Amino acid sequence: MKRFILPALFVFAAGTFIGARVGGVFSQPDTLEQLRKLEDAFLLIDRNYVEKVSPVNLVDRSISAMLEELDPHSSYIDKEQVAKVQEGYRGSFGGIGIWFEAPPEDTARVTSIIADGPSEKVGLMPGDLIIAVDDSSVVGYNSIEIQNRIKGPIGTDVELDVVRRGVDEPVEFVITRGEIPLYSIDTSYMMDDETGYLRIGRFAMTTHQEFLQHTRALIDQGMQRMVLDLRDNPGGIKQTAVLIADEFLPGGHTIVYTKGRVERESERDVSTDGGLFENGPVIVLVNENTASGSEIISGALQDHDRALVVGRRTFGKGLVQRPFQLRDGSILQLTVSRYYMPSGRLIQTAYEDGSLEDYYTSKFGSLRQATYNVSEYLDDLPDSLRFKTTHGRTVFGGGGVMPDIVIAPDSVGGMNAPILRAIVRQGADVRFAREWFLEREAAFRGTWMERQDEFVDSYAVPESFMEGFWDYAEGVGISITDGDSRAEDGVFSAEDLAESEALLRTVLKARLAQRLYGSEAWFPIFNAIDPTVLKAQGMWTDAAELAALPPAEDAETRGD
């Protein structure tokens, strides 16, 4: 089974280099003997196998096989992938500051330009079609292939040839690559006069500073309470998650502690005074893809009764990896410790050494149980997995952070209605919105580009848009009938449409907003129909009661 790799919960350091020190590390005779045995096998294969083998592939696969005998989250990154992985954690890369899309077998199109970035400075514009990079055609290339050609060392030049509407000949731009930020805050905005919403997509080196900037802006707009959305956040750098949790807690409270076989891997992170949002009510949104660093935040705030956690049980990754650099530049992400919440609970899902398939099968089965059969799931947990928060509420270990309020997705209605699932599966919402927008881009931008708040509050897709959409949908196999539904054939009744049309119109409006304002514009519109967000908005009384509790000492930490 292919290893499923989440971003490591890094104890971030400048990777420990071990390549030149193997001989001095192993003091146990048995260990040295096994190492020599492995070397013997490698040399025998290299010299005697019937066909020529790649030493690089042989070693890479051997390392991966060794890791399969450990835990599910230790991993090996070959040297070709290291730069890309480190880029994500660093929070920036060398590029030209554009967003673009590359439809299959079509021409890449610039959708937006980063303000004050290299492309804006030379005059590249949204709507420009990228036909060549450094004199090589990229027509029909996918987005990753084009991105790899455009990215490069900061300070170097890249040449783009673009086709611009209204200009007869291609336009050539020579752009000096700059440092382009990889933002990890997906969006933040005021939901009403007192409620701020902030969504974190991952934890990189820059995320804490981003969080401070966004939170200060929300406070300046009158925020008194916050929805912190950690859904689908896979984690990242441990220290960054700790710093963000610290912004919600008074000083002297355990945020997380780790235990490892090596003494230096056992440590405790404690909150400091002066957090940016220590007092207002907080609701944290989580789901089954909330993992690692985002579980540290949701678990710590839950354990200290600082926030109401709403959504679905989190992924359950309570292992910490440290990156060790090998002599060729590849990296071994090795699990060095387990982390525990302030109450003493371990959120790592149980696993058997080397049984990766069983691990994920069991994990997803228990996630489903914790979503649709909550009472039965909690009743089956032994006392050893029941813990107390600082004010005596019961919380649970043994696999993820269990929300205070569980919201199961609607299995038949809402966004899971068969007609909407068919539309999204075909990509009809994205593709039609793109075509409609491109045909009217200049006029549409001219009307709405500087009126985002008004667009979010009052724009409604016109009837002509919906008529065009259904013509398009029929062309991809989705149709409406006056008779009975046949969902397996893509045929849906008028009643199906009536039940889902308001949601569909909102989704299509959000797609147009993404075209106008960028990907972050999706959230203020879609959140208006998001069941988890809507449920959370009705839970402010409970969240306020938690916020009003006096600071207390840490709950007793088991086994510490």
DSSP letter for 479, please.
E
Residue type, 312: R
Strand, helix or coil at 365? helix
- As a 3-state breakdown, the chain gives helix, strand, coil percent values, each rounded to 5, of 40, 20, 40
Helix axes 238-246, 207-220, angle to 10 degrees: 20
Residue type, 436: W
Distance from C-alpha of 258 to C-alpha of 242, rounded to nearest angstrom: 12
Question: What residue segments make up the domains of the chain, in order of their start?
Answer: 92-181, 185-317+338-409, 414-529
Quote the pLDDT of residue 81: 86
- Which of 303, 429, 496, 530 is flagged as catalytic? 303
Distance from C-alpha of 71 to C-alpha of 94, rounded to nearest angstrom: 34
CA distances from 511 to 151, 430, 432, 518, 530 (A): 27, 6, 9, 10, 15
State in Å, rounded, how far the first CA of the chain is from the last one.
36
- Which of 292, 330, 337, 343 is flagged as catalytic? 292
Instruction: Give the count of alpha carbons within 13 A of 429, CB side only.
Output: 22
Strand, helix or coil at 382? coil
Quote the pLDDT of residue 24: 45
Active site residue 303: yes
Please report where in the chains the tokens 């199961």 appear, as a residue.
408
Question: Which CATH superfamily includes the segment(s) 185-317+338-409?
Answer: 2-enoyl-CoA Hydratase; Chain A, domain 1 (3.90.226.10)
Which are the contacts of 299, defined by CB distance < 8 A and separation ≥ 6? 256, 341, 342, 345, 347, 401
Distance from C-alpha of 283 to C-alpha of 171, rounded to nearest angstrom: 50
Quote the pLDDT of residue 16: 37
Structure tokens at 29: 């005779």
pLDDT one digit per residue (tens) for the chain, 560 residues: 444 445 555 554 433 333 333 344 555 668 888 889 999 999 999 999 999 999 999 999 999 999 988 888 999 999 888 887 877 778 788 999 998 888 877 899 898 888 789 999 999 988 899 999 999 999 999 988 999 999 999 999 999 999 998 888 999 999 999 998 888 999 999 999 999 999 999 999 999 999 999 999 999 999 999 999 999 999 999 999 999 999 999 999 999 999 999 999 999 999 999 999 999 999 999 999 999 999 999 999 999 999 999 999 999 999 999 999 999 999 999 999 999 999 999 999 888 765 677 888 888 888 888 888 989 999 999 999 999 999 999 999 988 999 999 998 875 567 889 999 999 989 999 999 999 998 999 899 999 999 999 999 999 999 999 999 999 999 999 999 999 999 999 999 999 999 999 999 999 999 999 999 988 999 999 999 999 999 999 999 999 999 999 887 664 443 44
DSSP assignment of 38-88 equals HHHHHHHHHHHSSS---HHHHHHHHHHHHHTTS-SS-EEE-HHHHHHHHHH
3-state SS string for 187-255: EEEECCCCEEEEEECCECCCHHHHHHHHHHHHHHCCCCEEEEECCCCCCEEHHHHHHHHHCCCCCCCEE
Are 185 and 198 in contact, with CB atoms under 8 Å apart?
A: yes
Quote the pLDDT of residue 87: 77
Please report where in the chains the tokens 């678990």 appear, as a residue.
299
Residues in a beta bridge with 145: none
92-181: CATH topology is: Pdz3 Domain (2.30.42)
Quote the pLDDT of residue 23: 40
Domains 92-181 and 185-317+338-409 share a fold: no
Are 240 and 124 in contact, with CB atoms under 8 Å apart?
A: no
Active site residue 137: no
Distance from C-alpha of 80 to C-alpha of 75, rounded to nearest angstrom: 15
Distance from C-alpha of 178 to C-alpha of 353, rounded to nearest angstrom: 45
- Of the candidates 230, 215, 226, which has an alpha carbon nearest to the alpha carbon of residue 283? 226
Active site residue 383: no
Other C-beta atoms closer than 10 Å to the C-beta of 385 total 15
DSSP assignment of 141-171 equals --HHHHHHHH---TT-EEEEEEE-TT-SS-E
Please report where in the chains the tokens 């590359």 appear, as a residue.
102
Other C-beta atoms closer than 10 Å to the C-beta of 128 total 26
Angle among Cα 316, 322, 324 to the nearest 5 degrees reads: 145
Which are the contacts of 272, defined by CB distance < 8 A and separation ≥ 6? 246, 251
- Which of 246, 294, 317, 343 is flagged as catalytic? 317
Distance from C-alpha of 130 to C-alpha of 406, rounded to nearest angstrom: 46
Quote the pLDDT of residue 225: 99
What size, in residues, is the chain? 560
DSSP letter for 6, please.
P
- Of the candidates 57, 55, 63, 75, which has an alpha carbon nearest to the alpha carbon of residue 5? 75
Please report where in the chains the tokens 């440092």 appear, as a residue.
179
Structure tokens at 121: 């400075």
Structure tokens at 416: 């899971």
Are 396 and 386 in contact, with CB atoms under 8 Å apart?
A: yes
